[in-house]
Amino acid sequence: MSEPKYPLLGLSRHRMEIDGEGVTTLVAGAGCPLSCAYCINKNALRQAPSYVTAAELYEKTRIDDLYFRATGGGLCFGGGESLLHLDFYESLRPLCPGWRFTAETCLNVSPGAVRRAAAAFDTFIVDIKTLDPAIYEGYTGKAPGPVWENLKYLVGALGPEAIHLRVPLIPGYNDEADQDRSEAALRKLGLTRIERFSYVVRG
Ligand code: SF4
């Protein structure tokens, strides 16, 4: 079997408490199953990535090894959909003992992928968007499918503390009442790390 490679779009070092806990390097990758109307990464997602092996990514990021281990930080995989590259993380993880692995994800991937991801990552930042299926599909271009079941699985596998939720106000698609309904349903699952914010739409 060929060595798994990651479609790297870029690295951003020394992100404090933005992309997970501690000092974190954001590792942006290509590819996403959704087409969100206000995606801020659309241009980046269209760029040709450079493909790196696990050893190559480790070499590029190990300069911050001490910071990662001293602060409980590590690598946060985002950009597009992080859970598209599970073979890669399984190769990378043994090279980086003591680093936190965080996944930024929409969870609109197969239940099998989420089960593997629960073993590969310590923390998840879930861009849930909305729990209203019609609003979700109108905004992302895709039905929510297994998102809710995947979230429930993660809560059971890792506990609510390991999961940070983003619940946006999406101008033209939802409203505060929709945010309230989404937040209430998430709290019923025991989730408390819920960030509400508004997308800024530039004309
Ligand atoms: S899930 Fe994120 S990366 Fe994918 S289209 Fe939506 S905003 Fe863009």
Query: Which pLDDT tens digit goes with each residue over 46-59?
Result: 788 999 999 999 99
* Ligand 1 lined by 168 (C-beta under 6 Å): no
pLDDT of amino acid 2: 86
State the pLDDT confidence band at 17, using cuts at 50, 70 and 90.
low
Q: Answer yes or no: are the C-beta atoms of 124 and 40 closer than 8 Å.
A: no
Q: How confident is the model at residue 192 (pLDDT cuts 50, 70, 90)?
A: very high
Q: Which long-range contacts (CB under 8 A, 24 or more apart) does 141-150 make?
A: 141/34, 141/35, 141/36, 142/33, 142/34, 142/35, 142/108, 144/108, 145/108, 146/107, 146/108, 146/109, 146/110, 146/111, 146/114, 147/106, 147/107, 147/108, 149/111, 150/107, 150/109, 150/111, 150/114
pLDDT digits (tens, 9 = 90+) for 115-154: 999 999 999 999 999 999 999 999 999 999 999 999 999 9
CA 30 to chain centre: 13
Q: Supply the residue whose CA is at minimum distance from atom 6 of ligand 1.
A: 36
16 pLDDT higher than 80: no
pLDDT in tens, 58-110: 999 999 999 999 999 999 999 889 999 999 999 999 999 999 999 999 999 99
In short, whether 147's Cβ falls inside 6 Å of ligand 1 is no
For position 18, what pLDDT does the model report? 67
Report CA(9)–ligand 1 centroid distance (Å).
14
Count of other CB atoms within 10 angstroms of residue 183: 17
Ligand 1 near 34 CB (within 6 A):
yes
Task: Check pocket membership of 39 for ligand 1, CB cut-off 6 A.
Answer: yes
* Ordered structural domains, the chain, with CATH: 6-198 (3.20.20.70)
From the CB of 36, is ligand 1 less than 6 Å away? yes
CB-count burial class (<10 Å; 0-12, 13-18, 19+) for 77 = buried
CB 80 within 8 A of CB 29: yes
Q: What is the mean pLDDT of residues 164-171?
A: 97
Distance, in Å, from the CA atom of 32 to the CA atom of 108, rounded to the nearest integer, reads: 10
106 CA from centroid of ligand 1 (Å):
8
Say if ligand 1 is within 6 A of residue 106 CB. yes
Distance between CA atoms of 96 and 122, rounded to whole angstroms?
A: 13
